[in-house]
Amino acid sequence: MSYLVQGKKGEQRLFMGNEAIARGALEAGISVAAGYPGTPSSEIIENLAKVSKERHLYVEWSVNEKVALEVAAAASFAGLRALCVMKQNGVNVASDFLLHLAGSGTRAGLVLVPCDDPGALSSVNEGESRHFARLVEIPLLEPGNFQEAKEMVRYAFTLSEELRTLVMVRSVTRLSHASGNVTLGELPPTGSKAYFKHDGFILDQMEGAVISSPVEYKHTLQQERVQKAAELFEESPFNTYCGPPDPEVLLITSSACNLYSKEAVRLLQAESRVGILKMGTTWPLPPRFVERHLRMADTILIVEEVLPFLEESVKILAAELAPTIGVKTFYGKRDGTIPATGEMNPDRVVQGLARVLGIDYQPVSESYAQKALESAFFGAPERDLTFCPGCPHRASFWSIHNALQLDHRQGFVCGDIGCYSLAMRPTGYETLKTLHAMGSGTGVASGFGMLREFGLDQPVLAVSGDSTFFHAVMPALANAAHHGANITVVVLDNSGTAMTGFQPHPGLTVDAAGKAVQALDIRRICEAMGVEVRQCDPFDLAATQAALLELISSRQGPNVLILKQLCALSPERKGKRRFNMHIVETICMGENCGCNRLCTRVFKCPGLIWDKVKKVSRIDDVICAGCGVCASICPAGAIQKEAV
Ligand code: SF4
Ligand code: SF4
C-alpha cells in the first residue's frame, strides 16, 4: 500500500509538495485525475496512479494538457470531483478549452494544479500560469508551505462546488519538489457514481447542456463568481499576517516566497520593523482584508517570483482605496527592488528588503565571497549538460549533423521539447536551430518547407520525441502533409516520455495505472497521412546517415524517419550492456585523430575519457552503457566492441 494513503487523521507525514497536493485531492474525494507529464508537476499524477486501485480512481496521462483538462471536466460534468495537473507551459496548451470551461462553469469540484518553474530549472521558459486565472476569470490559490499545499487543494474542491467554477491552485518548483511535515486529514469513502444530466433547462448549470452561451449571460455569471470568491476570501485562513501592529515596511508575498521572506526578515533581524502579509488567495484579492493591512504601513514591498502579478493587483486596489488609505510607496519588481526574472531565494529577498530598510547588509565576509568564487571557478569539475551514456539521441544527432554537413546546403533542424532539446548544445553538435513549444519543431519546419518559391533551398528537418508526436506533432505533420511542405521529420522514438520519468503515452501498451491498453503505431499514423516513412536503428550510424541523405534530397515532402531505440535509462535497457568496450591504446591516435580526439572532444559520450598521462582515450567501465556506437565513430578502429 502506498504511504500516501497510510496513516490516520492527525498523524504527521513527511511529504514532498507534490505528494501533499495528491493527498489533498484524495482527502477531497476525487474520482478522476488527468495530466500531461512535465517537471515540476509529474509526481502528482504518478502518486495518484499508484493508489488508483485502492482509492477507486481513474487516473490518466493524457495525450496533451488540453485533452487532460477536457477529461477532468467531463468527470465534473458527470458529478465526480476531478483534478487536472500540468506544468506552466501546459496551461498555454490547455488555454483554449480553459477559456470556454470558465464560461460554461463546472458541476462537481474541478481543480487545475499548474506547477510553475521560476528560473526555468527544467523548462525552456519561466512562463507564468497565474495570469491565466485573471485572463479566464477563475479563482487562484497559492500555497505558501507544504501543509497548505494539501489543505488548499482540499478546500479548492469545496470552493469549486460553491461557485460552480474551475479553481486554480498554483505550485512552484521549490514547493512541488521540496518536502515538509504535513498533518493528515481523513480519507473519505470511495465509490462515487457518475451520471451526466443534460436535458434540463438550457440555463440550468446542473441539469442543462454545458456550454458557454448565451455568452453575455454566462460571462456575467462568471464575473459574479469572481466577486463571490473575493467575498469568501475575506475570511480565508490562507491569508495571514505576521509581525508588529505598526510595521515600518509591510512585505506582501505569496507561494514559496513566503518562506524566503520569513528567512530574509530573520537574517536582517528586522522582525520589529517588517510585517509579512502572506496571501494564499491571490486572485481575486479580498479588498477589505488587503485594505486593513495596507493601512498598517506607508511603505510596501511586494515579493514574488517572475512577473509582478501580485504587485499589480495590490497597486490597482491601493489606487482605488487611495481616498481612504492615502498614498503608499511601493517597492517590488517594477522599480527593480526585486529581480524581474529568475527564481527567488532568501538572498535575493534580503538584498531588496535591506535596500528598502536602508540596512547596509553584507551576507558574507569579502574574503569568504572571494574564496567561494575561486572554488566555483577552479574547484568544481567542468561539465556540460549532456545526453546520458548510451543515449540513442546522441547517435541520432551525430547522424543528422553529419548528413547535413555532407549535404553542403546549410540544412538545419527545427527543435522540439524533450531530452533531445540538449542538441542545442555542443553535446548535440549544436544541431537544433529553433526551439519553442511542444510540437513546434514540425510546425515551424512546415512553414520553412513552404518557402521554396521564395528561394529557400536549404534542407529543412524537424525532430520530435514519441510522446511529443502524440502531444502536438500530429496536427503539424498533417498540415505539412496537406500543403506539401518539403521537410523531413525525424521521430526520435525511445519508447517513453523519458525526460519526465517514463510516463506512458499512446504509443505504449500500458496506461498510467499499469493496465494493458492499445498502442498506436506512429509509422502507420504517418503513412495514413500519405507521408513516406522509413525506420532505422539510430545505433546503426551508416544506415541512418544514408537514409537521412536520401530523404533530405527528396524534392517532395514531407517525409518521416523514425529512429527507434530504447532510452538508455528505460527499465528494459538500464544496466544491460550489448557490448563490452575497450580501446586499443596502440591504435588510438589521441590528439592526432580527426578534430583533435574525435571521441572525447566531439562525440562526447561521458563513457569515453581522456587519459592525460598516456595521451590516449579510455572507456570508463562504470559509466559506459555498452551501446557500441563509439566503435563506429573512431576513424582508426581503436574502439572495439565485443558482444556480451
Ligand atoms: S579512440 Fe579513436 S576517436 Fe578516440 S582519440 Fe583514439 S583514435 Fe580518436
Ligand atoms: S559504448 Fe561508447 S558510446 Fe556507448 S555508452 Fe559506452 S562509451 Fe558511450
**58-114 pLDDT per residue, tens:** 999 999 999 999 999 999 999 999 999 999 999 999 999 999 999 999 999 999 999
Whether the Cβ atoms of residue 604 and residue 596 lie closer than 8 Å to each other: no
SS3 99: helix
Whole-number pLDDT of residue 567: 92
pLDDT tens by residue, 161-193 = 999 999 999 999 999 999 999 999 999 999 899
Whole-number pLDDT of residue 202: 87
Whole-number pLDDT of residue 285: 98
Q: What is the C-alpha separation between 61 and 8, in angstroms, rounded?
A: 29
Which sign does the torsion angle of CA 401, 407, 408, 414 carry? negative
Whether the Cβ atoms of residue 149 and residue 142 lie closer than 8 Å to each other: no
**Which segments in the chain show pLDDT lower than 70?**
1
Q: Choose among 151, 76, 625, 95: nearest CA to 394.
A: 625
**CA nearest ligand 1 atom 6, residue:** 588
Ligand nearest to the CA of 606: 2
Q: What is the C-alpha separation between 113 and 179, in angstroms, rounded?
A: 18
- The CB of 597 under 6 Å from ligand 1? The reply is yes
Cα-to-centroid distance, 615 and ligand 1 (Å): 10
pTM: 0.91
SS3 48: helix
In a mutational test of the pocket of ligand 1, which residue from 612, 639, 640, 641 has the highest number of ligand atoms less than 8 Å from its CB?
639
The DSSP output letter for 342 is S
Whole-number pLDDT of residue 250: 98
- State the helix-helix crossing angle for 440-448 and 474-483, rounded to 10 degrees: 10
At residue 506, what is the residue type? P
Ligand nearest to the CA of 623: 2
Report the percent of the chain where pLDDT is more than 90.
86
- Which ligand 2 atom lies nearest to the CA of residue 628? 1
- The CB of 619 under 6 Å from ligand 1? The reply is no
- Which ligand 1 atom lies nearest to the CA of residue 597? 5
Cα-to-centroid distance, 619 and ligand 2 (Å): 8
Ligand nearest to the CA of 608: 2
The DSSP output letter for 149 is H
The DSSP output letter for 616 is E
| CA terminus-to-terminus distance, the chain | 38
Whole-number pLDDT of residue 361: 85
- Which ligand 2 atom lies nearest to the CA of residue 626? 1
- The CB of 598 under 6 Å from ligand 1? The reply is yes
- The CB of 607 under 6 Å from ligand 1? The reply is no
Distances (CA, A) of 544 to 204, 455, 578: 59, 28, 19
Reading the block at residue 497, the C-alpha cell is: 516520455
Cα-to-centroid distance, 464 and ligand 2 (Å): 23
**CA nearest ligand 2 atom 7, residue:** 607
Q: What are phi and psi of 293, to 5 degrees?
A: -80, -30
Reading the block at residue 570, the C-alpha cell is: 528505460
Q: Kindly report the number of other CB atoms within 10 A of residue 382's CB atom.
A: 5
- Which ligand 2 atom lies nearest to the CA of residue 579? 1
Ligand nearest to the CA of 600: 1
Whole-number pLDDT of residue 630: 96
Q: What is the C-alpha separation between 328 and 326, in angstroms, rounded?
A: 6
Cα-to-centroid distance, 460 and ligand 1 (Å): 32
Q: Choose among 149, 129, 118: nearest CA to 47.
A: 149
Ligand 2 environment, Cβ below 6 A: 389-390, 581, 605, 607-608, 619, 624-630
**CA nearest ligand 2 atom 6, residue:** 624
